[in-house]
Amino acid sequence: MSKVDMAFIGGRGLFSNYGGVENAIREIALEVSKKNENIIVYGASNEDENVFPLPRNLTRVVCPLWIYQKLGQHGLIVFCVLHALFVGRPKVVYLFASGPCIFTPLLRLGRLKVITSLRAVDSARDKWGKVSQKILQMGEYCSWRFANAFTVNSKEMVEIYAPRRNDVKFIPNGAKGIETKGEGRLSEYGLTSDRYLLFAARLDPVKRLHILLEAHSKLPAETRPMLVVAGGHVKDKLYEQQLIDMASPDVVFVGHISKLELDPLMAHCRAFILPSVLEGMSNSILSAMAAGKPVLAADVPANSDLVEYRDALFTADDCDELQTKLSVLSSNDEFCATLGAKLKERAKAEYSWSTTSEKFYQLSKSIN
């Protein structure tokens, strides 16, 4: 193996469409690979939802399937860290998300430079047990305490961590346009372009899909648009059943889908809705903005910093306000077009994967 310049650890790998960490690592690694740096991206061998040709200087190292199947994400991270320490030996290791960051001290002891990147305060999610929460808190502590450089992707997190580490770097996500613009499986789902709302996120209580389902069900049946729910990876089966039970007949659950399947749903939706109350910087919102779609998101700092416009926000957990704004989105074509155009211009002006990747690249050079 040629001398490795940088390696990325976090998430399930280059070809996975699981969530924001995977999307960020993929976009950053592909952009930085244009500089002829030798790059490793670690991941799992069975996460192949979005396969594409790799540049010659970008290597995919995967955890053996048996480790991933028996030990899950914990085993995956340990494998990646040990491979980086004893085999890959990159000049710089990027650790994305709270869990992997717990290994920052070990990598530093192994004389590797480390850049950490928190994508949200994961320990604050209400799905964790006490042990898992403590592990994530330790990872968050290690991320700012021991890394050569420490980054976050929201201004809210800068405010949280600046008192602890004053050189915390804010590096936002980028916005990527839709690549697949055909109609995909719209007819299979019984959907008509511009006549449905889209929710795309994990079915996790913190994403507040139950609030959206309640507000949607209260819209007048004769004018209520369909609601497409794209999300899976459910850990709480009781919560999943609760969602199914409260959904109106106009809700379509499509499960966890690849980017190839999600892009047409985004391209043809009337609006993108994200009532989540815990975000870093949402890649889904950015994708909707880049596509010129109106967005309606919970008014939490990470979302309000991103969309900026009050028309694109509702008070978090306020079902009545959400219902009112859904009604406007469902009936007012001019409002949708205007808001979508404003958000597209903001995405173009403020959020670029090229700019984001350059910031990570320059940070790696500054610590070498």
| CATH architecture entry for 6-174+352-366 | 3-Layer(aba) Sandwich (3.40)
pLDDT in tens, 127-157: 667 888 888 899 999 999 999 999 999 888 9
Residue type, 256: H
pLDDT in tens, 276-325: 998 878 889 999 999 999 999 999 998 999 999 999 999 999 999 999 99
Residue type, 28: I
pLDDT of residue 1 exceeding 60: no
| Residue 229 tokens, joined | 């729910």
Domain ranges of the chain: 6-174+352-366, 196-350
Classify residue 225 as exposed, middle or buried by CB count within 10 Å of its CB (0-12, 13-18, 19+): buried
Do residues 292 and 343 touch, judged by C-beta distance below 8 A?
Answer: yes
| Residue 311 tokens, joined | 């028309």
Q: Which DSSP symbol is given to 102?
A: T
Angle at 289 between CA 273 and CA 13, to 5 degrees: 85
Among 275, 343, 274, smallest CA distance to 308 is for 343
**Per-residue confidence (pLDDT) for residue 2, from 0 to 100:** 64
pLDDT in tens, 30-87: 999 999 899 999 999 877 767 889 999 999 999 999 999 999 889 999 999 999 999 9
**Per-residue confidence (pLDDT) for residue 125, from 0 to 100:** 67
Whether 196-350 and 6-174+352-366 are alike in CATH topology: the answer is: yes
Q: Which DSSP symbol is given to 356?
A: H
pTM > 0.75: yes
**Per-residue confidence (pLDDT) for residue 12, from 0 to 100:** 92
Q: Sorting pLDDT into bands at 50, 70 and 90, what band is 181?
A: low
Do residues 165 and 180 touch, judged by C-beta distance below 8 A?
Answer: no
Do residues 280 and 157 touch, judged by C-beta distance below 8 A?
Answer: yes
**Per-residue confidence (pLDDT) for residue 112, from 0 to 100:** 98
More confident residue, 45 or 195: 195
Count the alpha carbons within 13 Å of 20 in the hemisphere toward its beta carbon.
25
Measured N-to-C along each axis, helices 283-290 and 333-350 cross at an angle, to the nearest 10 degrees, of: 110
| Residue 128 tokens, joined | 């964790």
Distance CA 275, CA 270 (A): 16
pLDDT of residue 123 exceeding 80: no
Provide DSSP, 186-213.
TTTTT--TTSEEEEES---GGG-HHHHH
Do residues 4 and 112 touch, judged by C-beta distance below 8 A?
Answer: no
Residue spans of alpha helices (H) in 102-221: 104-109, 130-146, 155-161, 209-217
pLDDT of residue 233 exceeding 90: no
**Per-residue confidence (pLDDT) for residue 357, from 0 to 100:** 96
Distance CA 105, CA 114 (A): 9
Distance CA 315, CA 305 (A): 14
Among 256, 254, 214, smallest CA distance to 235 is for 256
Q: Hey, which CATH number is domain 196-350, 2.60.40.10, 3.40.50.2000, 3.60.150.10, 3.40.50.300?
A: 3.40.50.2000
Average pLDDT, the chain: 92
Distance CA 176, CA 172 (A): 13
**Pairing label, strands 113-118, 92-96:** parallel
DSSP, collapsed to helix, strand or coil, labels residue 169 as: strand
pLDDT in tens, 251-262: 999 998 888 889
